[in-house]
Amino acid sequence: MDVFDNAVLDAFLEKQGQLYEEKVAETREEALEFLDMVMAVVVDNADEVWEYFDEEGVDMDGADRKEILNADEVFEVGDGRYLIVEG
C-alpha cells in the first residue's frame, strides 16, 4: 500500500495553504507526485512527529507537543496519522 493513500492526499490538498502561499497541487495525482518529489513522510501518531523532528536534528528546545503538531509542515490526516512536508 502506498503511504500516501487517499486520506493523506486529501488532507494535503485541503491544508496545503498552511505551508505554501500558492497551491502546489489540484488533484490527488498532482499531490502524490509532489509529496514523492519532496520526500514527505507519514507517521502513525503525534509521538512519531516528535521523534521525526528529533531525528532530523530540528531544534525543539522549549517547544511543547502542541507547538510541534501545529508547525506549518505538519498536516493532521484525521485518523491519528500525520503528514510531514518539509517546505
Q: Is residue 12 part of a domain?
A: yes
pLDDT tens digit sequence for 33-58: 999 999 999 999 999 999 999 898 88
Domain that holds residue 79: 6-84
CB-side neighbour CA atoms (13 Å) of 48: 11
Contact yes or no for 68/49 (Cβ under 8 A): yes
Q: Is residue 1 part of a domain?
A: no
Contact yes or no for 48/42 (Cβ under 8 A): no
Distances (CA, A) of 27 to 19, 31, 41, 47, 60: 17, 6, 19, 30, 33
Q: Is residue 40 part of a domain?
A: yes
All cell numbers assigned to 45:
501518531
Lowest mean pLDDT among 16-20, 33-37, 62-66: 62-66
Give the total number of structural domains in the chain: 1
- What does the pLDDT read at residue 1? 38
* Banded pLDDT at 25 (limits 50, 70, 90): very high
